[in-house]
Amino acid sequence: MGLSRGLDAEEGRSPAIAPGRAVSEEDLPADERQPPSTVVPAESAPVPLQPAAPADALPAFPAPPSLPVHTGLSPQDVAALRFVEDGKSALGRDDVEQAREQFERAVAIAPSQPYGYYFLGRIAFARGEHKQALAFLRKAELLFAQSDQAWLGETAGLQGAVYEDLGDYTQARAAYRRCLQLLPANLKALSALARLAGEEPLPSEPLSQ
């Protein structure tokens, strides 16, 4: 049998296969054998990338109070409020530039309406423009009616945050206290005063007895 397989190999013929035995790869000539298959690992599904936040996106702020209804307002005030509403919608899409333009239109068409100044102050603070933020917020505070306690409280609380960011803890405490006089349950102002309790007062700030 070994001699027969040798002669078959020399003559280029397939070796004789014993009856009843299954044909294996070794029984075939070298040129008829299948090359070894290469297992290609399946590619893993790509991990979806999370969209990056826009570079000029604002940090999270508490939701401001509701804007007034349009009834009983002058045409200029109604148009200004619509600009403010469009600006708020743009802020919701993180389109800060579009929002700023809408708020600037609001104060241009109705300079005595405070809402555009408030939101311009918010944008300026988020951009690190502290002095401009305080100027807008003070203007808004002067224009809000005394009955607008929610808006006055939010404006005072935001001023407190600006002063705190500047390191002027005297003014920050004063602004947070004004906020709490109007909105006693304002958690942001309460936590801020608790946080500032351990800060050293500035030389101009009198120590409490």
Q: Is residue 64 part of a domain?
A: no
Q: What is the pLDDT of residue 40?
A: 53
Confidence of residue 64 (pLDDT cuts 50, 70, 90): confident
Q: Is 148 a member of any domain?
A: yes
Assess if residue 25 is contained within a domain: no
Amino acid at 108: A
Q: What is the CATH number of the domain that holds 112?
A: 1.25.40.10
Q: Average pLDDT, whole number, for the chain? A: 81
For the cut 70, the answer to whether the pLDDT of residue 110 exceeds it is yes
Assigned domain for 90 exists: yes
- Assess if residue 101 is contained within a domain: yes
How many domains is the chain partitioned into structurally?
Answer: 1
With respect to residue 23, please indicate whether it lies within any of the assigned structural domains.
Answer: no
Q: Is 126 contained in some domain?
A: yes
Mean pLDDT over residues 102-121, rounded? Answer: 98
Q: Is residue 201 part of a domain?
A: no
| pLDDT top residue among 132 and 58 | 132
Per-residue pLDDT averaged across 138-142, rounded? 98
Domain residues for 144? Answer: 75-196
Pick the residue with more confidence: 174 or 19? 174
Highest mean pLDDT out of 26-35, 60-69, 90-99: 90-99
pLDDT digit string (tens) for 150-186? 999 999 999 999 999 999 999 999 999 999 999 999 9
In terms of pLDDT, which residue wins out, 26 or 69? Answer: 69
